[in-house]
Amino acid sequence: MDSMGSMRTTEPGTATAPNSSITAPASKSAVPTADPGDIVMGVNGDENTVVLKGEQYLEAGAHASEPTDGILNDRIRTSGSVDTSKPGDYTVTYSVADSSGHVAHTDRTVHVVDSMDKQSGGVPVLMYHYVYSASAAPDHLDANYLLDSKLEEQLNYLSANSFYYPSWQEVAEYVAGTHSLPKRSVVLTFDDGEEGFLHYGIPLLAKYRVPATSFIIASDADASQKVVANANEFVQFQSHSFDMHRAGGTVGHGGRISAMTHAEIVDDLTKSTTIVGANQAFAYPFGDTTDDARAAAREVGFLCAFTTKYGRANTGDDPMALPRVRVSGDQSLASFEASVQ
């Protein structure tokens, strides 16, 4: 990728080298019509990515899976070209094939703009946990449980007001002070990969076309199956650790991460990213973190790592210890609206 943010076609698992020249934007007709079979595929971040003229286009990639082959993220091929010195619309295409020869593809439209109203005061990274239906309410409810109808109200508000959903690459560079985001940027995250979110939350995200990240506990016996069985165009799965979501430490909420060595944390996180098939973002179990934990998260390659401390992700923050904005089950829609403005 060059200083103007151009990119060229890449093979799966390879880095994008700088262009010697700018090629024409890819178009949907450049990819042959193919039978996707049972492949589920979606872009990471907003499907309509906005880049300010002269800033770098940050390739966020895509996610894909298939019931038999499992997670296909490392097989995805990216093609297209974005020249951020020239305002206009560009298309980046992602394609992937399974072992049976089925091929799926999806597009990201990149809008290079002369100017835009910029996000200021930090990006709200929303922290959700559990979603439930009134017809099947849990016996014991607390603030972590959100009624599906309330989630729908929130998603409808975001959709109706044209919020922007930056990728983890965009969030990381915003925090570093090297990338601008459009006004009304917001990120949605759901911790634990709990059944209620999978059953009620994901269909609502798809209905309103709002992308989100599910942080899942990779030591769960069905973790990798959970990723595949609940695959959706608008949900990417990231790590909530392998086996650190339990007690055993003395820092913060008592999670065992504070009792582990740097090497032990690296090993845990590496296992987790292998299982979920991604290592862009990480949520610390119970929000607990230490110097060793932050160094380990950086070593494993995460772009962003999140605590449960309340606040927005601001320019100059440590990307390995970012706060989030908690969404509570008893929160009014007016309160939610205020939290994302």
pLDDT digits (tens, 9 = 90+) for 155-185: 999 999 999 999 999 999 999 999 999 999 9
Q: How many angstroms separate the CA atoms of 42 and 29, rounded?
A: 19
Q: Helix, strand, or coil here: 319?
A: coil
The structure's pTM equals 0.89
Q: How many angstroms separate the CA atoms of 113 and 95, rounded?
A: 26
Q: Which domains does the chain have, with CATH numbers?
A: 28-113 (2.60.40.10), 125-340 (3.20.20.370)
Instruction: Tell me the torsion sign for CA atoms 26, 42, 238, 143.
Output: positive
- pLDDT higher at 246 or 154: 154
Residues in the chain, total? 341
306, 286 Cβ separation under 8 angstroms: no
- Local structure of residue 201 (DSSP, 8 states): I
Per-residue confidence (pLDDT) for residue 61, from 0 to 100: 98
What percentage of the chain has pLDDT greater than the value 90?
80
The yes-or-no verdict on residue 281 having pLDDT over 70 is yes
**Residue 267 tokens, joined:** 């090993």
Token pair 């915003």: residue? 174
Q: How many angstroms separate the CA atoms of 77 and 61, rounded?
A: 9
Q: How many angstroms separate the CA atoms of 107 and 22, rounded?
A: 19
How distant, in Å, are the alpha carbons of 168, 250, 273, 313 from that of 286? 21, 12, 18, 18
Q: Helix, strand, or coil here: 283?
A: strand
Q: 25: pLDDT confidence band, cut at 50, 70 and 90? A: very low
Q: How many angstroms separate the CA atoms of 235 and 212, rounded?
A: 5
Q: How many angstroms separate the CA atoms of 13 and 15, rounded?
A: 7
How distant, in Å, are the alpha carbons of 98, 129, 227, 330, 333 from that of 207? 26, 19, 19, 23, 19
19, 2 Cβ separation under 8 angstroms: yes
Q: How many angstroms separate the CA atoms of 209 and 159, rounded?
A: 8
pLDDT digits (tens, 9 = 90+) for 91-107: 999 999 999 999 999 99
Q: How many angstroms separate the CA atoms of 217 and 279, rounded?
A: 13
**Residue 224 tokens, joined:** 């990798």
Half-sphere exposure of 60 (CA within 13 A, CB side): 27
What percentage of the chain has pLDDT greater than the value 70?
88
The yes-or-no verdict on residue 8 having pLDDT over 60 is no
